[in-house]
Structures are given as structure tokens and as C-alpha cells.
Structure 1
Amino acid sequence: MSTTNSESEVQRSCEEEDKTENGYSHEENGDMTNNGLTSASWRASSRAKKSQQSLLTLAFPISRVRRLVKSEGDIQWVGVEAGFLIAKATEIFLEKLVEDAFERMQGNGQASILYPHLSSHVASSERLEFLSDIVPVRIPAAAALRNASMTDK
């Protein structure tokens, strides 16, 4: 199945959900819709629809992701679907990393996410250990020199 067919099928299902959702009419008390759903259920289905639409949008262009993957080694071809999945996985990973750094920022009572928030999160998270060389905790030069001289002895 090609990506175009997959995207058009998802788009059709979203349009069908739109027709169904737009057919809802709230009664005067606002608690029920004409098909028996509570307004909470209606809001939940609306959130699910928005979530489904966000799965189709990307922060990173697929063409650039594919080019980057191809430039990394022996890979000569990256399919559009694979590029889409890699781009989406990268986006989700970065969202989670930034959310966790944001929590650290709030814990420190600051208003901006800074490098120390990211590096301390990477250092304290076992599942992010693979990033420890890329995002190390900063230490002052004097402390680094002291540590280096202690290890030389």
C-alpha cells in the first residue's frame, strides 16, 4: 500500500468523523447529545480526532529526514513511509525530552529551559544514558582539571 493511499484513507475517516461529530446537537441541559453521548464523551471523541490529526502532521520534513538517514552510512534508499515514521518518532522523543526538562525548570523556579535542565535530566535518566556523551553535565574548568589531576596520580 502506498503512502498516498494510506493518507487518503485516514483523511476520509477523519472526514466521516467530522460529519458524525457535526451532526451532534446538544440538548438544552447540555448534558446529552441527540445520539445519547454525554458531553464529556463528545469532548473525548473531539480530543481523539485532534490527536489523530496530529499524528499526520510532522515538525520535520520527510525529505530532509530521508536525506539525513541516507547520508549516515550504507543505506541507499529510505522509503517515504519509513521517513515518516522516523520523523514522527524523533518528534515524539524530543517532545518528551523537552517536557521532562520543563518540569525540572519549573522545579527550579525559572522561566526558561536552559542547558543545565536538559543535561541534568539526561544524567539522571537511565533510559537517556545514550545521550550522556552528547549532552554532558557542565562542570567548571577548574573542577575538571582537579579531577583530571586526581585520576593521573
Structure 2
Amino acid sequence: MSSSNTPIDLSQETPKSSSKHAPERTPGTTMLPLARIKRVIKEDKDVSLINAEATFCIAYATELFMEYLVTEAFSKAKKEKRKTVYYKDLASTVKESDQLEFLEDVIPPTMTL
């Protein structure tokens, strides 16, 4: 898996503080398309059926997880006086967090050749 050097530009604010500018969330909706979440879940051959509530819970949990990961990576960028999150910020976040240890193979530190 190759890492992309394309930066992710975040606003001047941290993701948590920018929530006051986020659109109001309608209860029972997610930002991720539920049909796509369901399709990903069904890729697991052990899962034959999944109901709408379970799909919603997985989608919402995914949103919360992504918010946590990006918030932590953004704090690393801010420490270096940047407003842009780079791959190295994500990799560093994964490497330094016991909670994110399971991602070490997916988001490894960059290596110079």
C-alpha cells in the first residue's frame, strides 16, 4: 500500500470546535451512505443478513472513530504550526497510540528508500 502525499486541508479550527459550524444532524441519519456500509459488511462471508439498526450503528461508530483519528492527527499538525494533516501525522498518531495499535499494518510509518 503506497502512501499519498496529498494533504488534507482542514479549516483553521479543530474538528471538535468546528462542530458548531456543522449542519444540524437529523436523528437517525449518518454522513456515510448506509447502502455502502451494508455492502462492505456483506463482504464478510460469515454475515448473511444485517438489519438497518445494526448498519446504522456501524456507520455511526465509523464516523466517531474517524473523528477521533483525524482529531488526534490534526493536533500533531497544529504542534508543528500547520493547518494541513499529512500522512505522517496519521502514521505518528497510530504509532503512538495503544488504542490504534490495530492499524499499524494499515497506516505504517513512512520509510525513506
With structure 1 as the length reference, what TM-score do the two structures score?
A: 0.56
Distance 1:56 1:140 in 2: 45
Structure 2: unaligned runs, 5 residues or longer: 1-19
The answer for the alignment partner of 2:108 in structure 1 is 136
| Structure whose CA Rg is larger | 1
- 1:109 paired residue among 81, 89, 92: 81
Partners of 1:113 and 1:54 in 2: CA distance:
29
Q: Distance in 2 between matches of 1:54 and 1:114?
A: 31
Identity score, percent:
34
Q: Distance in 1 between the 2:86 and 2:68 partners?
A: 16
- SS of the aligned residue for 1:56 comes to coil
**What is the TM-score normalised by the length of structure 2?**
0.74
RMSD: 1.9
Partner of 2:28: 56
Aligned length: 92
Q: Report the equivalent of 1:95.
A: 67
Change (3 A) 1:100 1:82: same
Specify which structure has the bigger relative contact order, considering alpha-carbon pairs within 8 angstroms and separated by 6 or more residues. 2
Q: Give the ranges of 4+ consecutive aligned residues of structure 1 lying more than 4 Å apart after TM superposition.
A: none
Stretches of structure 1 that go unaligned for 5 or more consecutive residues are 1-46, 142-153
**Shift in Å at residue 121 of structure 1?**
0.4
Retained in 1: the 8 A contact 2:74–2:83?
Answer: no
Answer 1 or 2: which has greater helix percent.
1
How far off its partner does 1:78 sit? 0.9
| 1:20-62 alpha-carbon deviations (Å, 9 max, x no partner) | xxxxxxxxxxxxxxxxxxxxxxxxxxx9xx98x4653311111
